[in-house]
A and B are shown apart, each in its own frame.
Chain A
Amino acid sequence: MPQGRELGDMNAAVWRRVTAAAVDFVTVPSVAAVIMVITGALENAEAWTGGFPWLRVFLLGVVGYLMVNGVLLWRHGQTLGKRLAKIKIVDHESEQVPALWKLIVLRAPFFPLMHVTLIGFWYLLVLDLLIGLRGDRRCIHDWVSGTKVVAADDEN
């Protein structure tokens, strides 16, 4: 795995994190929707048998997330939104780009929290973010994955 550059301990500005989150919030579902239309994953009656097809929607989200962010996370510790906002994820201890499995298995599962606010579970996101109001600006998903978000220099 490529190693990221050493960085100072300057935490990413809140507005940059919000901007990055907003970009990811829109782009991942948009790409997932395109995949859905092309593959027909939710197009027929069988997909909806037994109620709302939660598993298919989740898998579409995973595929969409990896298509948009997979390479960027692997090489730079960034999602598309973070790259545009010039911030990146680093390991909390080493300040290197974290192992991809940590970003996907431990950190990415928190991404849908932004979307479940739309179906009434807003408090889960609030709980995650409230922790980030402390001095080190690390939310629950940062703690779980052992990462933090810092400013990235132009070479990223």
Chain B
Amino acid sequence: MFKTLYITLFSLLLSGGAWALDCASAPNTENFFPSGWGIDLANTRFVASENSRINARNVHRLQLKWAYGLSTQAPRFYPLVTSDTFYIGDGENGVLALDRESGCVRWRNQNTAGGAASSIAAADTGFGPTLFFAHREKGVFAIHAHSGETLWQSSISSEPLPMYSGSPLVADGVIYVPISSQEIGLSMLPFYGCCTTSGGMAALDAETGKQLWYVPTIEQEAEVTGKHLLFVQKWGPSGAPVWSAPTLDRERGLLFFGTGENYSAPATDTSDAIFALDAATGERRWVNQFTANDTFNMACVTGGVNCPEEEGPDLDFGAPPLLAKNSEGRDLLYVGQKSGAVSALDPATGERVWSQKFGRGGYLGGIHWGLAADIQRGLLYVPVSDFPAGLELTAAPTPGLYALSLDDGSVQWFAAKDFSEQAQAELGFWPGLSAGIVAADGVVVAGDLAGQLEAYDALSGAVLWRYATAQSFTTVNGREAKGGSIDSHGPLLVDDLLLVSSGYSGVGMKSGNAFLVFQLAEPADAAGSGAR
């Protein structure tokens, strides 16, 4: 007995306690949830009652179940859930399968260390149940859901410096992969000749990772446009990156996605735009640009020589397009931009049906990461950050959550965020809503940049539940964990659970490394089976 105790203690010392709760085992993979970043292929971010028992009547009973200390201060994964497992991306530890009850580690895939930067999706392949996700630099990975074994890894050969910062969408044996570019960061180097690469969208075979097609968002080749430091050549056009999840319209066979700004002049008519491609061939069907002449790169933030002469406002589409029916049963494509503009488009033609603007907008939104919709209630939920960063900040910010009519964009309610100096002093940060949000039966859950996680009543906007995540947590894996800004992909609702990562140092937000699991404290009501 003493020998066992000694070995256990020695193992704990060697591991630093970080892997003290390993429970090597194969997850149950009968059902996976959600299908990807947007909960469904239309990116509605709405969790139906058969998938979550959390609603407006019981959300106040959510309590912290356990916390896990991540190895990164900028977590950027969206979890995948089965009946007994959470799949997460844990920074330098790679992708992990955590036991749903205890948080102990079933397996980990360290080939993927350092960059699991997307939602994790699943599909059946010839290998069996397979997980797919994007590694920021290495490309798309397929790993076995049972064992964590790497099945294949695929990167795009069409661009020299691809950055896989968007979440892939998996459907019908195809993986649609958003492509951004590392040139956004290289532009900060004064000796770098900015910029030549284009954003794009790729389609891969889910069985092999083989590239089926690739479509750049800029078709013309970059050319020399000038010089700086006597010798360094400037190039353009470039940019129009894609860093958000695409949306699939199975009925029309179309794939929709949004683009960001041009990195260098000349500007193109494909930046800050919504694209529609033929999902089977990649053929371009329509493009609708919302902000023209938007040339911007990170040199504009650091005062570098690569900042374009006519610096643009950097008004990307970071929020994936959302496909939903209005009250008349008409399909509309809802898009939200960093400018704060929300528009409804005809998915067949891209023509604008209505458009509204909320908030001040800026480099970091405006609308940053994502919308949600409740078709039954006819509501589109729009989180607005209005973080003070951007070219023109003269207008008053209006951060908070808006509920709009899916029919015409009229405001049904607005839950304003208190961004007074006193509130910011108490919270320690700007409380804007930057992260993606999630909606369920009568409830909308959103996390703010100050780390507050809130559940709103879907019909009134009243706050039904609030939890401050910017604090220290005792964790199941022994690693010290602290919450921070809730940003990027935001919360997930599943069964009687709410999952969220807190902390995001990615773009100067409040860093943190907490993965938090909340659960309804009492037995859930009769709605929903919860079986998964």
A interface, CB within 8 angstroms of B: 33, 36-38, 40, 42-46, 48-49, 51
Contact = CB atoms under 8 A, between A and B. Distances in A.
Contact of B161 (A37, A40, A42, A48): A48
A8 B196 CA distance: 59
Given A43-B193, A44-B196, A45-B186, 10 more contacts: A36-B191, A37-B191, A37-B230, A43-B191, A43-B232, A45-B183, A45-B195, A49-B160, A49-B161, A51-B137
A46 B160 contact: yes
Contacts, number: 37
B505 interface: no
Contacts of A48: 160-161, 182, 186
B191 A33 contact: yes
B531 interface: no
Given A37-B229, A37-B231, A48-B182, A42 B160 contact: no
B192 interface: yes
B19 to A, nearest CB: 25
Interface string B169-195: 000000000000011001001011101
Nearest to B222: A45
Contact of A44 (B182, B193, B229, B231): B193
A16 to B, nearest CB: 33
Nearest to B182: A48
A33 B189 CA distance: 12
24 contacts: A33-B191, A37-B230, A37-B232, A40-B193, A40-B232, A40-B233, A42-B189, A42-B191, A43-B191, A43-B192, A43-B193, A44-B196, A45-B160, A45-B161, A45-B186, A45-B195, A45-B196, A45-B197, A46-B160, A48-B160, A48-B161, A48-B182, A48-B186, A49-B160
A40 B192 CA distance: 8
Contacts of B229: 37
A65 to B, nearest CB: 19
Contacts of A37: 191, 229-232
A51 to B, nearest CB: 7
Contacts of B137: 51
Contacts of A43: 191-193, 232-233
Given A49-B160, A49-B161, A40 B183 contact: no
Interface in B194-250: 195-197, 229-233
B231 A40 contact: yes
A25 to B, nearest CB: 20
B: contact size bracket: 10 to 19
A33 B161 CA distance: 23
A26 B191 CA distance: 18
Contacts of B160: 45-46, 48-49
A40 B191 CA distance: 8
A119 B20 CA distance: 31
Contacts of A49: 160-161
Given A49-B160, A51-B137, A42 B231 contact: no
Lowest 3 CB-CB distances: which A-B pairs, in order?
Answer: A45-B160, A43-B193, A49-B160
Nearest to B192: A43
Nearest to B162: A49
B208 to A, nearest CB: 22
B299 to A, nearest CB: 14
A48 B186 CA distance: 9
A41 B103 CA distance: 48
Nearest to A51: B137
B156 to A, nearest CB: 12
Contacts of A38: 231
A7 B91 CA distance: 58
B217 to A, nearest CB: 16
Contacts of B161: 45, 48-49
Nearest to B230: A37
Contact of B192 (A33, A42, A46, A51): A42
Interface string B156-167: 000011000000
A46 B160 CA distance: 6
Nearest to B183: A45
A51 B137 CA distance: 8
Contacts of B189: 42
Nearest to B161: A45
A96 B380 CA distance: 83
A41 to B, nearest CB: 9
Contacts of A44: 193, 196
B303 to A, nearest CB: 19
B160 to A, nearest CB: 4
Nearest to A43: B193
A122 to B, nearest CB: 22
A60 to B, nearest CB: 11
A48 B182 CA distance: 9
B79 to A, nearest CB: 28
A51 B135 CA distance: 14
A69 B370 CA distance: 57
Contacts of B186: 45, 48
Contacts of B233: 40, 43
Nearest to B235: A44
Contacts of B230: 37
Nearest to B238: A45
Nearest to A45: B160
A40 B160 CA distance: 17
A38 B230 CA distance: 8
Interface string B336-363: 0000000000000000000000000000
A6 to B, nearest CB: 46
Nearest to A38: B231
A38 B282 CA distance: 41
Interface string B91-109: 0000000000000000000
Interface in B135-165: 137, 160-161
A40 B227 CA distance: 12
Nearest to A42: B191
